[in-house]
Structure 1
Amino acid sequence: MKFSISRSRRALAAVALGSALALTTTACGDDGSGSGGDKGAEGSGTGKIVFWDNNGGVRTDVWKEIIADFEKANPDIDVEYVGIASTEYQSKVDTAIQGGGLPDVGGVGAAMLAGFSAQNALEPLDERLGRSALKGMLNADMVASMKAAGGGDGTLYSIPTSANNGVLYYRTDLFQKAGLDEPATWEKFYEAAEKLTDAKKNAFGYTIRGGAGSIAQAFDAMYGQSGITSFWDGDKTTVNDPRNVAALEKYAALFKKVTPAADLNNDFTKMVAQWDSGTIGMLNHNLGSYQDHVKAFGAEKFRGIPQPVGAAGKRVQVSNPVDGLGLFKSSKNKDAAWKFIEFALSHAENSKFNESAGQVPANTQAAQDTWVGKAEPTKLAAAALTDGSTTIVQLPYYLPDWNTISKADNEPNFQKVLLGTMSAKDFLDGLAEQLNEAQAEWNEQKG
């Protein structure tokens, strides 16, 4: 079965160059629009800037609080907030890179960083950070992750705001009633998923993510069960290793057997809302939905624990991308835009954002705040990543094609696996073919 890569690094570079040349013959307005070839300007450090939130609707309220704080501290700068759903964000930015209309500042997580930087859309931030009060105040590992994801040249194109981690949420009240142990191993996870299911009463053991964002969650289940600890074996991916194929077959077989049928099209917001409003035993998501569950159940009716451990007693999980803020090169007011980034990453504001999101702060002072220890999933996730119990399989965010391959190209195919119209082996073989081709092209570009 032949799968083609819809977008290559070489094509991205060519499109970006074409857009840059087009701008030499097309007048641009003063609204900050432009493409990846537009160098922008520092500006006066005052006036209006536009901020695109890459998780609009979910993080809107806390960003509006941060913006209000910023405008109070900087009355000569006005921030226009634009919230964009996470499922639509990359395509919105890609369209704006080619057609104009980029914001001054936007959310730029590690997973989409290489694609944007390959189109020359982002301002390098190493020098700005080096002159900033933030120098030395950001988590070094998060900064290193952003540099590694930026396309391989070691340049920092996004300032990290937070780190996420995979979490298995489970309803302690339902587990206690059923006499089940905590799902700390994959064996106990599958046992609980089956025992908690009573479809006639609309009770299910698990909710599986079949819509947008499904691939990373499936990878967690695959590598977590197989115990494979590297995404690459030389220049060939391990995604279609027979052990991963077997793991995905077992995981996908949960659909409609112990999960709601609606899971086929559920992105994370629908999946989380479904879990919070129903009688579903378990949910795989990340730290970001913790506060939603607290609001729905109260902290006493659920727990959020690190991903299950495998048969060998070790936990293997895929890397969760660091989120951050990028400064778009086409901005006509970079000075003011950078002030906003600095402010958002200050101790108080970064703590406010991450307490709302339930994630690990990038600001090292914020990471010491008392709420971090009180939010159990955040505390447990931080411990799991530092106590030697967890091996992280690093996903290839550095590949410009990564986000397209792992989302648009293959989420529909994963749905076919859930429906039983495509085998897990065919799905993973096709995915591996795309990844190996992207890696070979990446190596060629590096020389």
Structure 2
Amino acid sequence: MKISNCRSRRAALSVALGSVLALTATACGDDGSGAGGDKGAEGSGKGKIVFWDNNGGVRTDIWKKIIADFEKANPNIDVQYVGIPATEYQSKVDTAIQGGGLPDVGGVGAAMLAGFSAQKALEPLDERLAKSSLNGKLNENMVKSLKAAGGGDGTLYSIPTSANNGVLYYRTDLFKKAGLDAPTTWDKFYKAAEKLTNRSRNEFGYTIRGGAGSIAQALDAMYGQSGITSFWDASGARTTVNDPKNVAALEKYAALYKKVTPEADLNNDFTKMVAQWDSGTIGMLNHNLGSYQDHVKALGVDKFRGIPQPTGPGGKRVQVSNPVDGLGLFKSSKNKEAAWKFIEFAVSHASNSKWNESAGAIPSNKEAVQDAWISKAEPTKLAAQALNDGSTTIVQLPYYLPDWNTISKADNEPNFQRVLLGKMSAKDFLDTLADQLDKAQAEWKKQHG
């Protein structure tokens, strides 16, 4: 993570957290009021604001519809939309924090929230929410999740827009033809992956994510199979990622690569993986609710289903937490009043429902959750049920660590590719990851008493 004009990004994470917290307060003369000491201004509530979409290209169309609705309702405010691909968003914001040019409003999900808030780039939103028409209308657990991810001070720096959830999509037509049961357990998942594979006909049982975003999916598969329900041990000082049960689970999961998956999976991010599944003959895909509409467009509703992650022995389902997404108000904004109006509008009942229906995600607005489309979108309906009926245990990932996003992406995605290629053992990979996490946790605990 780029943390000041005085230092370059660290390649290793081991002491990054302490450095972030120290440097954001002292480096280059920052007075703690925001990047470069820029406190911004409330502004007139009129004029131009800039909005950065943290999933540009994927959600561009729906955001442009919401912006058009907002500008119609607020003719004296002009919203400039900037779509930034998810893989580039964090580095783009980090660069702007140090060099200037931040937007007024931007997508700020739980996974990157701590890093931005540690650099004092975000406006606290508790008071604004308390006085807002949104007060009392947002899902309390999503609000709590973003408060917990903010770095440890209990401040709300992002207004939740949606919650995602891990989903196992499978081709019902292929399963029926092969006489296979739905992959509701991990045993059934592995059996189907093997039976549906015929490499000579370019048919595969599964597509594995080897490119950007691969770590979260691998963690989901690990904890889902091992049944371990906490990311930290009883002391809270050591991570469980390299527990022997997780090592064994990752070994089994990584062994799927090239055996029952396309070779191209090594470099596939979610957009390439989803497109490959939608256009090919692949039995199963792990992603989240966000790709549901893509599958509907490509396959219709009769050739696939999206179900909660498989259960392990005894019918126990364990999943890692999927980050809540949200909208943040950048502290350097010179028109915070207008920017806040946009956030309020975007998370209002109608807009929040419209956005989440397009994304297939779970709305943060409690009124939007009651809308009819929820019951018609089976993966969203099943995901919501699984989270609320007691059948699922969620392993909470440490989004509160400012460099969690860096650890789980740039620092370790290349190593995961080495595991898939057989050039690095699952144990060595997880031991390296655990060492980074334990040091980051120790630094975080030191800073927070």
Instruction: Output the TM-score relative to the length of structure 2.
Output: 0.95
* CA-to-aligned-CA distance 1:206-246 (integer Å, 9 cap, x gap): 00000000001000100000000000002100000000000
Deviation of 1:14 (Å): 4.2
Q: Which residue of 1 is the match for residue 411 of structure 2? A: 409
Deviation of 1:23 (Å): 9.6
User: What SS does the corresponding residue of 1:41 show, helix, strand or coil?
Assistant: coil
Letter in structure 2 aligned against 1:124? P
Deviation of 1:22 (Å): 6.8
CA distance in 1, matches of 2:12, 2:297: 44
CA distance in 2, matches of 1:37, 1:274: 46
Equivalenced residues, count? 436
CA distance change for structure 1 residues 323 and 248 in 2, over 3 Å: closer, same or farther?
A: same
Contact in 2 for aligned 1:170/1:281 (Cα 8 Å): yes
CA distance in 1, matches of 2:240, 2:131: 42
Q: How does 1:165-176 map to 2 (within 5 A)?
A: 165-176=165-176
Letter in structure 2 aligned against 1:318? V
Q: Which residue of 1 is the match for residue 299 of structure 2? A: 297
Deviation of 1:37 (Å): 3.1
Q: Which residue of 1 is the match for residue 444 of structure 2? A: 442
* CA-to-aligned-CA distance 1:347-399 (integer Å, 9 cap, x gap): 00000000000000000000000000110000000000111110000000001
* CA-to-aligned-CA distance 1:279-330 (integer Å, 9 cap, x gap): 0000000000000000000001000000000012100000000000000000
Q: Which residue of 2 is the match for residue 328 of structure 1? A: 330
Instruction: Output the TM-score relative to the length of structure 1.
Output: 0.96
Contact in 2 for aligned 1:90/1:112 (Cα 8 Å): yes
Letter in structure 2 aligned against 1:353? W
1:373 alignment partner, one of 375, 378, 397: 375
1:21 alignment partner, one of 29, 33, 37: 29
CA distance in 2, matches of 1:13, 1:307: 37
Q: Which residue of 2 is the match for residue 359 of structure 1? A: 361
Q: Which residue of 2 is the match for residue 177 of structure 1? A: 177
Q: Which residue of 2 is the match for residue 160 of structure 1? A: 160
Q: Which residue of 2 is the match for residue 27 of structure 1? A: none
User: What SS does the corresponding residue of 2:35 show, helix, strand or coil?
Assistant: coil
Q: Which residue of 2 is the match for residue 265 of structure 1? A: 267
Q: Which residue of 2 is the match for residue 12 of structure 1? A: 20
Q: Which residue of 1 is the match for residue 83 of structure 2? A: 83
Q: Which residue of 1 is the match for residue 40 of structure 2? A: 40
* CA-to-aligned-CA distance 1:60-85 (integer Å, 9 cap, x gap): 00000000000000000000000000
Asked if 1:99 corresponds to 2:107, the answer is no
Q: How does 1:240-251 map to 2 (within 5 A)?
A: 240-251=242-253
Asked if 1:58 corresponds to 2:58, the answer is yes
User: What SS does the corresponding residue of 1:230 show, helix, strand or coil?
Assistant: coil
Contact in 2 for aligned 1:110/1:150 (Cα 8 Å): yes
| Percent of aligned positions that are identical | 81
Letter in structure 1 aligned against 2:207? T
Q: Which residue of 1 is the match for residue 6 of structure 2? A: none
CA distance in 1, matches of 2:12, 2:345: 43
User: What SS does the corresponding residue of 2:302 show, helix, strand or coil?
Assistant: helix
Deviation of 1:38 (Å): 1.4
* CA-to-aligned-CA distance 1:27-80 (integer Å, 9 cap, x gap): xxxxxxx83631100000000000000000000000000000000000000000
Q: Which residue of 2 is the match for residue 30 of structure 1? A: none
Deviation of 1:8 (Å): 1.5
Q: Which residue of 2 is the match for residue 28 of structure 1? A: none
CA distance in 1, matches of 2:404, 2:327: 19
CA distance in 2, matches of 1:206, 1:13: 42
Q: How does 1:414-433 map to 2 (within 5 A)?
A: 414-433=416-435
Letter in structure 2 aligned against 1:263? D
Contact in 2 for aligned 1:163/1:359 (Cα 8 Å): yes
Asked if 1:124 corresponds to 2:124, the answer is yes
Contact in 2 for aligned 1:161/1:345 (Cα 8 Å): yes
User: What SS does the corresponding residue of 1:336 show, helix, strand or coil?
Assistant: helix
User: What SS does the corresponding residue of 1:55 show, helix, strand or coil?
Assistant: coil
Deviation of 1:15 (Å): 4.0
Q: Which residue of 2 is the match for residue 206 of structure 1? A: 206
Contact in 2 for aligned 1:36/1:329 (Cα 8 Å): no
User: What SS does the corresponding residue of 2:323 show, helix, strand or coil?
Assistant: coil
Letter in structure 2 aligned against 1:226? S
Deviation of 1:160 (Å): 0.1
1:398 alignment partner, one of 386, 392, 400: 400
Letter in structure 1 aligned against 2:192? A
- Structure 2: runs of 5+ lacking an equivalent: 1-10
CA distance in 1, matches of 2:196, 2:348: 44
Contact in 1 for aligned 2:14/2:440 (Cα 8 Å): no
- Structure 1: runs of 5+ lacking an equivalent: 25-33
CA distance in 1, matches of 2:361, 2:313: 29
Asked if 1:286 corresponds to 2:288, the answer is yes
CA distance in 2, matches of 1:199, 1:7: 45
CA distance in 1, matches of 2:305, 2:253: 22
CA distance in 2, matches of 1:429, 1:244: 11
Cα RMSD over matched residues? Answer: 1.4
Letter in structure 2 aligned against 1:9? L
Deviation of 1:136 (Å): 0.1
CA distance change for structure 1 residues 310 and 389 in 2, over 3 Å: closer, same or farther?
A: same
Deviation of 1:20 (Å): 6.3
User: What SS does the corresponding residue of 2:273 show, helix, strand or coil?
Assistant: helix
* CA-to-aligned-CA distance 1:387-435 (integer Å, 9 cap, x gap): 1110000000001111110111000100000000000000000000000
